[in-house]
């Protein structure tokens, strides 16, 4: 076996605080399983689009107590480097995934041992509460143990800075540098006078603000079915519904209690085909017209609505358009900003221009969206992957407040005898059909990650001349930066005025993703239905060409 690999494994074993993980690695060493050890040691988890995220396993490529311990030591050193006093504190939270509680305990012990004040969430709670609490408590940082919508085998570590937003470069690089140089830390315990539970008053202030912000005067009898997809959003979301005046809520009982096994779902992601099937079946039984779903940490929002032809799950972009149509009218200050990412639909930019509101396009991820306003105020931001920020009080995506905003819009439309689909018709009649889809190709293991990198490089070096019979008018290497954005790994293929495709590696999963949009100008003497048919056909043709182009 490779001697350097043996040295790295033995060094890791010497520092790992977990008996079972040490025993597992020693067993792999003893039997000479070089392939498996390479999988665990060839690369280490890095801060990607949404922090650390990966499979729970021993070794630097996995989420485990030692990875969490080292990362938290990195956070302590980073806060010291940027001049944040330990007394400002760090908010610590967790979801209900397997491993989340012990990882949370590790974070708390390392922080207290380093003399840092800790504000700990009292139980497994949604990620947006941590982002909110960082600002509400004027804390120095926030750490959330969650893998959001990833498969059951994964877990993760999300880090917020003093502004309540997810960290960006160079902060992530500083944390990683210190984490990689970490030694055995002193550990504290909850008997320390520096340990505090986040109070019910802080959590209640979130509820009061958003229930008031999106309240329905006189209450609403809109029939809604809700599912938290086995996550932690259930009880908080039901309280918010009631406080905001929504009184006809049915729940998917099989998916209501937090359960890190996610027994009814292969992937606990509202985007995945079939994820809302149980919710739609319950909605039929309850005579609901709207399905609302949160992902397991409740920072994302899925929506399905009853159309004349049956249930239809809305795309992330469509939810973004609907929310913007309701929120843009409220924006009157020149400091107001709306934002979305370069992989999301371009319609928000057109809607903002029409409303006279400043628009910004950002790199992928809410860590960029939350900072899009610069010196202004981000009033609305979204990404097509079901992430929405509808109020500046939370500097991250928030599936709970966004759910209230969608429900209020659906209620107001119903009062006029209209539906969410009627509003979408109005928007595409006015701004043109924007047909969008995503192609996602999964690749496991180190060889899979190499295949993803190689494929992106292939497109970068030899871009296609056409996609779906539409000319590629420009190929933009995003690694060189573009339109004032920082460099990022990816390629943007512009299809003239007809749309665009962005190809990039996922920042949260081992996937290669292609984000497609085909646009048709409004009118042109055709019905909206006919235009949508043309758009769908063009989009399908682009997708077919991409499947050939991106084949591993």
Phi, psi dihedrals of residue 248, rounded to the nearest 5°: -125, 75
Phi, psi dihedrals of residue 548, rounded to the nearest 5°: -75, -45
Contact 485, 371 (CB under 8 A): no
Put the strands of the sheet holding 491-494 in their side by side order: 433-442, 511-520, 499-505, 491-494, 474-477
| CA-closest candidate to residue 171, choices 28, 371, 307, 18 | 371
Give CA separation, 478 vs 184, 194, 334, 481, 552, in Å.
40, 45, 30, 5, 21
Kind and range of the H or E element at 448? Answer: helix 445-461
- Ranges of beta strands (E only) in 242-376 are 249-251, 290-294, 301-307, 310-313, 336-341, 358-362
Cα-based torsion angle of the residue sequence 128, 131, 133, 135 in order, rounded to the nearest 10 degrees = -140
Contact 129, 117 (CB under 8 A): no
| CA-closest candidate to residue 47, choices 139, 169, 163 | 169
For residue 290, give every residue at least 6 positions away whose Cβ sits within 8 Å of its Cβ, in sequence order, or none.
Answer: 222, 223, 224, 225, 283, 303, 304, 305, 306, 406, 407, 410, 420
Question: Hey, which residues does 341 pair with through a beta bridge?
Answer: 362
Distance between CA atoms of 431 and 433, rounded to whole angstroms?
Answer: 7
| CA-closest candidate to residue 163, choices 139, 198, 143 | 139
Contact 25, 18 (CB under 8 A): no
DSSP state of 164: S
Give CA separation, 106 vs 6, 186, 334, 341, in Å.
27, 11, 45, 34
Distance between CA atoms of 81 and 85, rounded to whole angstroms?
Answer: 10
Q: Which of 148, 182, 370, 401 is catalytic?
A: 148
333 catalytic, yes or no?
Answer: no
Instruction: Identify the residue whose tokens are 């059909």.
Output: 433
Helices vs strands, H then E, count in the chain: 17, 22
Compute and round to an integer the Cα radius of gyration of the chain.
23
Distance between CA atoms of 298 and 443, rounded to whole angstroms?
Answer: 26
- State the distance between the two ends of the chain, measured CA to CA, in whole angstroms: 30
For residue 53, give every residue at least 6 positions away whose Cβ sits within 8 Å of its Cβ, in sequence order, or none.
Answer: 45, 63, 147, 148, 150, 154, 155, 156, 157, 508, 509
What is the SS3 string spanning 456-483?
A: HHHHHHCCCCEECCEECCEEEEHHHCEC
| CA-closest candidate to residue 398, choices 207, 131, 45, 39 | 131
Catalytic residues: 148
């Amino acid at each position: 076996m490779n001697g350097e690999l043996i040295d790295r494994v033995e060094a890791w074993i010497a520092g790992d605080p977990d008996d079972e993980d040490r025993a597992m690695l020693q067993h792999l060493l003893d039997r000479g399983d070089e392939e498996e050890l390479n999988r665990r040691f060839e690369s280490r988890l890095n801060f990607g689009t949404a922090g650390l995220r990966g499979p729970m396993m021993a070794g630097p490529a996995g989420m485990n107590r030692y990875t969490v311990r080292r990362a938290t030591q990195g956070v302590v050193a980073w806060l010291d480097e940027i001049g944040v006093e330990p007394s400002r504190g760090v908010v610590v939270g967790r979801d209900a995934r397997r491993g989340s509680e012990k990882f949370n305990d590790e974070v708390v012990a390392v922080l207290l041992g380093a003399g840092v004040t800790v504000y700990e969430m009292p139980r497994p709670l949604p990620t947006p509460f941590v982002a909110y609490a960082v600002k509400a408590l004027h804390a120095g940082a926030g750490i959330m143990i969650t893998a959001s919508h990833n498969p059951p085998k994964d877990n993760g570590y999300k880090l917020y800075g003093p502004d309540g937003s997810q960290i960006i470069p160079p902060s992530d690089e500083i944390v990683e540098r210190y984490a990689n140089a970490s030694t055995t830390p002193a550990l504290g315990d909850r008997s320390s006078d520096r340990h505090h539970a986040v109070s019910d008053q802080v959590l209640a202030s979130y509820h009061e603000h958003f229930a008031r912000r999106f309240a329905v005067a006189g209450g609403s009898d809109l029939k809604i079915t809700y599912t938290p997809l086995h996550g932690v959003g259930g009880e908080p979301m039901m309280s918010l519904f009631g406080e905001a005046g929504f009184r006809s809520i049915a729940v998917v009982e099989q998916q209501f209690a937090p359960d890190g096994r996610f027994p009814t779902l292969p992937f606990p992601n509202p985007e995945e085909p079939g994820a809302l099937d149980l919710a739609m079946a319950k909605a039929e039984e309850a005579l609901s017209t709207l399905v609302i779903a949160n992902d397991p940490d409740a920072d994302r929002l899925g929506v399905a609505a009853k159309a004349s032809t049956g249930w239809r799950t809305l795309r992330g972009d469509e939810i973004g358009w609907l929310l913007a149509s309701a929120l843009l009218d409220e924006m009157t200050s020149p400091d107001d900003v709306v934002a979305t990412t370069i992989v999301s639909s371009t319609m928000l930019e057109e809607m903002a221009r029409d409303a006279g509101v400043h628009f910004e396009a950002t790199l992928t991820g809410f860590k960029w969206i939350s900072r899009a306003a610069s010196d202004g105020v981000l009033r609305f931001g979204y990404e097509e992957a079901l992430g929405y920020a509808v109020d500046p009080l939370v500097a991250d995506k928030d599936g709970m407040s966004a759910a209230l905003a969608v429900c209020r819009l659906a209620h107001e439309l119903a009062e006029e005898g209209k539906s969410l689909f009627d509003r979408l018709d109005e928007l595409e009649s006015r701004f043109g059909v924007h047909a969008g889809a995503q192609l996602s190709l999964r690749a496991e293991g180190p060889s899979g990650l190499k295949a993803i990198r190689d494929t992106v490089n292939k497109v970068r070096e030899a871009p296609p001349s056409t996609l779906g019979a539409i000319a590629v008018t420009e190929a933009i290497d995003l690694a060189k930066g573009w339109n004032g954005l920082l460099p990022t790994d990816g390629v943007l293929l512009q299809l003239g005025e007809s749309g665009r495709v962005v190809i990039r590696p996922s920042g949260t999963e081992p996937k290669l993703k292609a984000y497609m949009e085909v646009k048709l100008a409004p009118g042109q003497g055709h019905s909206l239905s006919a235009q949508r048919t043309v758009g769908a056909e063009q989009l399908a043709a682009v997708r077919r060409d991409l499947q050939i182009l991106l084949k591993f």
